[in-house]
Chain A
Amino acid sequence: MTGLPRRLLQAVVVLWAAFTVSFVILYLLPGDAVLAKLGASEGGLTASAADLTRERAAYGLDDPLLVQYGKRLLAALHGDFGRSITTGENATSLVLNALPSTLAIAGLGLLFAVLFGGSVAVLSTYTRSRWLSQALSTLPPLGNSLPTFWVGLMLIQVFSFQLGLVPALGSSGFASLVLPAVTLALPTGAVIGQVLAKSLRTQLSEPYVEIVLAKGASRARVHFGHALRNAALPALTLVGVVTGTLLAGSVVTESVFSRDGIGRVTATAVGSQDIPVVQAVIVLAALFFVTINLVVDLLYPVLDPRVRTVARV
């Protein structure tokens, strides 16, 4: 099997593995979702053992491990991950309801990240000022090393509490998207900037650059017309990885900005061992990841004639 069918099969295996590993890990943890839910009240459980058994049975938690796994897998194939043990809502719809809010900040965040990372990389390699180039090169490592949590709080402190430009809380309107998106964009943009700058430098020292220059092309044409196009390939590969970073970042960002979304749902569900919800989130995230990487792979031949040739052979 080669090409697309092979990639699709791999994708299915990844999804199945994500489903299975999440089930096993959550199952192995001490305690269960019913205990987490009923014990959340101050001072813990007051229910009798019989009540607990009945509650567990209602969620199928009393079945043997393999039976539970089999039932869940079968239902999941039909898009049904079961009911959240914590809230009783349908896990699939709970996750899908939280999705748009996360997509909004992640999408805007990715846009900011590409703009920020791209301009830092291009400027730091294009400028003739050694000082400016070095100053710009320090930005990506800095952006990557600042904790997301701290960045979010600082942005809120300055732009919301001090200057009053944007609301600190909630998901109302475009204004509430900006700070969370910037927070998410910082580490992501930093990685993009770092990789793009490095591969731009490599490209600019390739022999073809001298030939193009000798043929009379301007510096700008060499930079944007030739080097950037070639340097963009490794950065594009990153977009796949970055999707994961954005989803992981949403866990912290959504808490700091008091937003609903996949991150908040994940944090709560993992904390309360709510297996149906965690599995719905993980399979959705895996699906996302797999799809984006597939798209990126398919884009290579479009952007790079060399890959196209190899693929044909």
Chain B
Amino acid sequence: MFGPALRPLRAVGLIALLGLAACGTPTAADPGAAGPPRPGGTLRLGISSNPDCLDPQQIGTNAGLNVGRQLVDSLTDQDPTSGAITPWLAEKWDVSPDSTGFTFHLRQGATFADGTPVDAAAVKASFDGIKALGAKAQLGSGYLAAYKGSTVVDPSTVRIDFTAPSAQFLQASSTMSLGVLAPAAYAKSPEQRCQGDGLVGSGPFVFESFKSNQQIVLTKRKGYAWGSPLWRHQGAAYLDRVEFRIVPEPGVRTGSLGSGQLDAITDVQPVDEPQFAGNGFTEPVRANPGIVFNLQANVTRGVLTDAKVRQAVQKGVNRQEVTDTVLTKNYKPATSILGSATPLYTDLSASLAYDPDGAKKLLEDQDWTPGQDGIRVKNGQRLTAKVAFSAVFNQNQSVLELVQQQLRKIGFDLQIELHTTAETQALTLAGNYDFLWYNTTRSDPDILRQLFSTKSGNRSKLTPGDPLDAALDKQAATVDPVVRKPAVADAQRIILDQAYSIPVFELTQVWGLGPKAHDVDFEGSSRMRLFDAWVSG
């Protein structure tokens, strides 16, 4: 509500800040001279919003997940480079042929911060606890939609069963959303856990304090020795203490990093990115896996019922221009409906090339002729559709305004409608939109099934039996990448060829690290891992 009202002022402030920032550029340091990692010290990290909840099993926002990740361990880990699922709390696992049963063999010696062991009974309690959260488990409820139950086979073996093939669960088991909390945690209410009360995990950091809108403090878990083998070192974390400072104003975040009042920040805005390039500061960047920012078409609405019209829109969007002008070189134009960091992604950039002439030809062949204002008409119907969006990503409005201009050139009138988060959810649930603008972070291609399948989210409102369903069901039924990859490739191809969705760009995380902060890493879902992070003296 206050966001949109502030925006014009924000622009004024930014322009003024840029002017002043030029004379206050921080002094340079050689990033190569950092030396070997040094244990100890405090990392002061500026984050952009107040996490309403710190419990990783409940929260779905980046701010909350970035804190929660440090507190819990997961059954598995995911290699950010290959997307492969690797051991963590579980040393190995077996998956039933139909992907409905997953048996995890736990490692020995891991304990929760309250001293109790991480055993099969604790894992069962934790998964049952997540299922019991219902809608409160914002991401977990989706991962465990078909959860049937867990069985303690022996103290170090737990079997998790599903009522339907759930290949995605293997990747989900690596996320913080399915991270394991101590049985004692469930003696507290979900609301208490949100505030940190009873938030006991086995992770490399433990919760110390949470002051709303101010800061969250975590401290090192002494004696931690069960890190994922993927990490840079083993043993306990380097940092003694992590302070997540909540700094909503982007200009203040960058200024505080520049003046040494913070050691690292998240959410560097495109306009601020040049400040931290090559002057002792580093800018870790990683594209989010999952569904890219896209205009998902509701194929039951107006002109979007016609596949030719949707295909013309697909050709009429100049994705390179979007990233070049509104965003920065750190952001990639979409090359599929999945982000390039998603496992089993297929590069379909040829299908997403900018082709205004092709778009116009498609429309002319369908007898859409330009009207007086340049927008095409046919039998008195205007070539127009609305897009519903909310300002979850700061540049959403600018991106959509540019896409609007691009589509105007082919004679298509895109009308942009900003809504609040709640309103957008209500529209989504009711299917009351022409185009829906959104992205989703998920490091598994099954997200396509969740949002496109007619048996699931079906955001395009396809008719049951659409060829897409078969491809999506096939990939859900096996964890074997050899079988899964062609199915996922088919699904991506169908979505683009039918233009059920118009992918535009990949959401990207851009952080800023000061000269003292090192090795703040991305995990598989482009969220933060602080285990290897350290600060120089």
Contacts and interface: CB of A to CB of B under 8 A. Distances in A.
Contacts of A40: 52, 60-61, 138, 421
B450 interface: yes
A40 to B, nearest CB: 5
A89 B195 contact: yes
A171 B246 CA distance: 12
A33 interface: yes
A2 B246 CA distance: 50
B351 interface: no
B420 interface: yes
B258 interface: yes
Nearest to B177: A41
Nearest to B450: A46
B3 interface: yes
Interface in B350-375: none
25 contacts: A30-B427, A36-B420, A39-B428, A42-B439, A43-B438, A43-B442, A47-B135, A54-B135, A55-B136, A88-B189, A88-B190, A149-B10, A149-B13, A150-B12, A150-B16, A153-B13, A161-B259, A169-B247, A256-B249, A258-B247, A258-B252, A261-B213, A265-B213, A268-B50, A273-B422
Contact of B61 (A42, A49, A147, A270): A42
Interface in B420-450: 420-429, 438-442, 447, 450
Contacts of B110: none
Contacts of B17: 153, 157
A297 to B, nearest CB: 32
A167 B450 CA distance: 46
Given A87-B53, A157-B20, A267-B2, A41 B211 contact: no
Most chain A beta-carbon contacts within 10 A, residue among B9, B46, B447: B9
A261 B246 CA distance: 13
A267 B5 CA distance: 12
B290 interface: yes
Interface string A286-313: 0000000000000000000000000000
A92 B327 CA distance: 42
A45 B24 CA distance: 43
Contact of A153 (B191, B194, B252): B252
Interface string B105-145: 00000000000000000000000000000111011011001
Best-surrounded residue of B1, B46, B290, B438 (most CB of chain A within 10 A): B1
B179 to A, nearest CB: 16
B255 interface: yes
Contact of B6 (A52, A160, A171, A252): A252
Interface of A: 29-49, 51-52, 54-55, 83, 86-89, 94, 97-98, 147, 149-150, 153-154, 156-158, 160-162, 164, 167-171, 251-252, 254-261, 264-265, 267-268, 270-273
Contacts of B190: 88
Contacts of B247: 169, 258
A43 B439 contact: yes
Nearest to B426: A31
A31 B420 contact: yes
Interface of B: 1-3, 6, 9-10, 12-13, 16-17, 20, 24, 46, 50, 52-53, 59-62, 134-136, 138-139, 141-142, 145, 189-192, 194-195, 211-215, 245-249, 251-252, 255-256, 258-259, 261-262, 290-291, 392, 419-429, 438-442, 447, 450-451
Given A45-B425, A268-B50, A273-B422, A255 B214 contact: no
Contacts of A52: 135
Contacts of B291: 43
A46 B141 contact: yes
Nearest to A254: B213
A171 B195 CA distance: 20
B294 to A, nearest CB: 11
Contacts of A48: 135, 141, 145
Given A31-B423, A150-B9, A270-B2, A47 B141 contact: yes
Nearest to B192: A88
A256 B134 contact: no
Nearest to A257: B252
Contacts of B194: 87-88
A177 B405 CA distance: 46
A44 B424 contact: yes
B248 A168 contact: no
A46 B142 contact: yes
Contacts of B262: 169
Contacts of A149: 6, 9-10, 12-13
A150 to B, nearest CB: 5
B422 A29 contact: yes
B213 A169 contact: no
A256 B251 CA distance: 9
Contact of A171 (B141, B214, B259, B419): B214
A39 B12 contact: no
A158 B23 CA distance: 11
Contacts of B425: 31, 35-36, 38-39, 44-45
Contacts of B246: 258
A153 B52 contact: no
A231 B17 CA distance: 40
A251 B251 CA distance: 17
A55 B290 CA distance: 27
Nearest to A46: B142
Contact of A170 (B245, B419, B450): B245
A168 B260 CA distance: 11
B258 A161 contact: yes
A167 B1 contact: no
B139 A150 contact: no
Nearest to A37: B52
B2 A29 contact: no
Nearest to B260: A164
B259 A164 contact: yes
Nearest to B190: A88
A263 to B, nearest CB: 9
A98 B213 CA distance: 10
Contacts of B429: 35, 45, 49
Contacts of A88: 189-192, 194-195
B213 A39 contact: no
A52 B60 CA distance: 16
Contacts of B46: 169
A87 B191 contact: yes
B212 A260 contact: yes
A156 B252 contact: yes
A29 B426 CA distance: 11
Contacts of A168: 252, 255-256, 259, 261
Contacts of B212: 87, 94, 97-98, 260
Contact of A41 (B60, B215, B251): B60
A54 B134 contact: yes
B366 to A, nearest CB: 33
B214 A39 contact: no
Nearest to A32: B422
A162 B2 contact: no
Contact of A38 (B138, B261, B290, B419): B138
Give the top 3 A-B pairs by smallest Cβ distance, nearest first: A41-B60, A43-B440, A88-B191
A88 B189 CA distance: 10
Contacts of A30: 419-420, 422-423, 426-427
Contact of B261 (A55, A86, A167): A167
Contact of B20 (A43, A89, A162, A270): A162
B191 A89 contact: yes
